[in-house]
């Protein structure tokens, strides 16, 4: 019989891509619940769900997610909801005999001024970026929770809980909210609306100088499935019990000004691009060292220009 796999957050950008990836590989025994059907911050409901379902594997892609403005404006929601979701899912997975779990963290776990590119060893070596510190603290707790359960129960209970740290993601299923989204969906919407309105100028938040590394979501899903299925001896050989997370990046980064030009090209907007330095820049740079994952045999496939074209096509479909 096929293993029974739960994708937490299957309606989100990454969770839906993981579901498509697994379906394409022939997996049919996939369990999902919408947020309305199962609120993962509700401990009793999560306990009941795991007791009923008897799962083999869990992809934990449900989280409270947003861009720099949302993180800065709703810090209480970001720390509370993320800690609750991951505590409930990881703990109930353990209690109900789930052997394999993959936790999705974020590149914002690393110090604001970490040496670039940021290797896994940079974790907990310095101050975090203030705009997303509460979210980052929750994500660090998730990594440490997986590691702690492995250390205490790995041998006795045969569990193997892993963590991947995605860089900034984009693609089909993204959140295109004008204020609360990440930069790529925000700019796709802004340039698209400016093109339709023949607006002479589009304003980009911040100075345009921060650098970001962008990964297309289907690459992230492929990396998640790859890491989940790595042989334990190989995974253990490339990680350490208290340094077990794996970075997932594209390999190179761009400035926000360069990104804005690339998005305007993808959308076909021909007006002026200007910057509003009164808006926060966030981290100056978050370029990940993905050498650990590359040595394990995985590399990103979708470049930024192609990924932006695909994201814009999906955005146009989504808005009808």
Ligand X SMILES: C[C@H]1O[C@H](OP(=O)(O)OP(=O)(O)OC[C@H]2O[C@@H](n3cnc4c(=O)[nH]c(N)nc43)[C@H](O)[C@@H]2O)[C@@H](O)[C@@H](O)C1=O
Taking CB under 6 A as the rule, does residue 134 contact ligand NDP? no
Catalytic residue among 6, 110, 135, 161: 135
By the 10 Å C-beta count (0-12 exposed, 13-18 middle, 19+ buried), 11 is classed as middle
For the chain, the farthest-separated pair of C-alpha atoms sits apart, in whole angstroms, at 65
Contact 125, 181 (CB under 8 A): no
Residues in contact with ligand X, total (CB under 6 A)? 26
Taking CB under 6 A as the rule, does residue 123 contact ligand NDP? no
Contact 212, 197 (CB under 8 A): no
How far apart are the C-alpha atoms of 278 and 286, rounded to whole Å? 21
- When binding is defined by CB under 6 A, the residue of 16, 82, 106, 150 that contacts ligand X is 106
Q: Give the shortest CB-167-to-ligand X separation in angstroms.
A: 7
Q: Cα angle vertex 67, ends 186, 8, to 5°?
A: 110
Taking CB under 6 A as the rule, does residue 279 contact ligand X? yes
**Contact partner at residue 61 from ligand NDP, ligand X, none, CB < 5 to 8 Å by partner kind:** ligand NDP
Alpha carbon of 319 to those of 12, 28, 34, 194, 312: distances in Å? 17, 30, 22, 15, 11
Taking CB under 6 A as the rule, does residue 212 contact ligand X? yes
- When binding is defined by CB under 6 A, the residue of 50, 59, 205, 216 that contacts ligand X is 205
Taking CB under 6 A as the rule, does residue 93 contact ligand NDP? no
**Contact partner at residue 172 from ligand NDP, ligand X, none, CB < 5 to 8 Å by partner kind:** none
Q: Give the shortest CB-65-to-ligand X separation in angstroms.
A: 6
Question: Any known ligand binding at 177?
Answer: no
Question: Any known ligand binding at 15?
Answer: yes
Taking CB under 6 A as the rule, does residue 67 contact ligand X? yes
Instruction: Look up 110 and say whether it is catalytic.
Output: no
Beta bridge partners of 243: 240
58 vs 202, which CB is nearer to ligand X? 202
Contact 240, 163 (CB under 8 A): no
Residues labelled as active-site residues? 135
């Amino acid at each position: 019989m096929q293993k029974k796999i739960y994708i937490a957050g299957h309606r989100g950008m990454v969770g839906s891509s993981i579901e498509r990836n697994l379906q394409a590989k022939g997996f049919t025994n996939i369990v999902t619940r919408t947020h309305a059907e199962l609120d993962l911050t509700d401990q009793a409901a999560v306990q009941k769900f795991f007791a009923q379902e008897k799962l083999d594997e869990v992809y934990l892609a449900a989280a409270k997610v947003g861009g720099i403005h949302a993180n800065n404006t709703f810090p209480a929601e970001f720390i509370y909801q993320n800690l609750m979701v991951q505590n409930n899912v990881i703990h109930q997975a353990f209690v109900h005999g789930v052997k394999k779990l993959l936790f999705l963290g974020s590149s914002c776990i690393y110090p604001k001024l970490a040496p670039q590119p940021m290797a896994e060893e940079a974790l907990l070596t310095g101050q975090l970026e203030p705009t997303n510190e509460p979210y980052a603290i929750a994500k660090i707790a998730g990594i440490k929770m997986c590691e702690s359960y492995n250390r205490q129960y790995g041998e006795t209970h045969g569990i193997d809980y892993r963590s991947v740290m995605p860089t900034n993601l984009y693609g089909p299923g993204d959140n295109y909210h004008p204020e609360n989204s990440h930069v790529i969906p925000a700019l796709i919407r802004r340039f698209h609306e400016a093109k339709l309105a023949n607006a002479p100028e589009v304003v980009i938040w911040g100075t345009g100088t921060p650098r970001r590394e962008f990964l297309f979501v289907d690459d992230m899903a492929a990396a998640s499935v790859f890491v989940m299925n790595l042989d334990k001896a190989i995974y253990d050989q490339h990680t350490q019990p208290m340094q077990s997370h794996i970075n997932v990046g594209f390999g190179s980064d761009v400035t926000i000004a360069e990104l804005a030009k690339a998005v305007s090209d993808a959308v076909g907007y021909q007006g002026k691009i200007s910057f509003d330095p009164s808006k926060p820049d966030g981290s100056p740079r978050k370029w990940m060292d993905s050498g650990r994952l590359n040595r394990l045999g995985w590399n990103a496939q979708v470049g930024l220009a192609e990924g932006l074209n695909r994201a814009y096509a999906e955005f146009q479909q989504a808005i009808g």
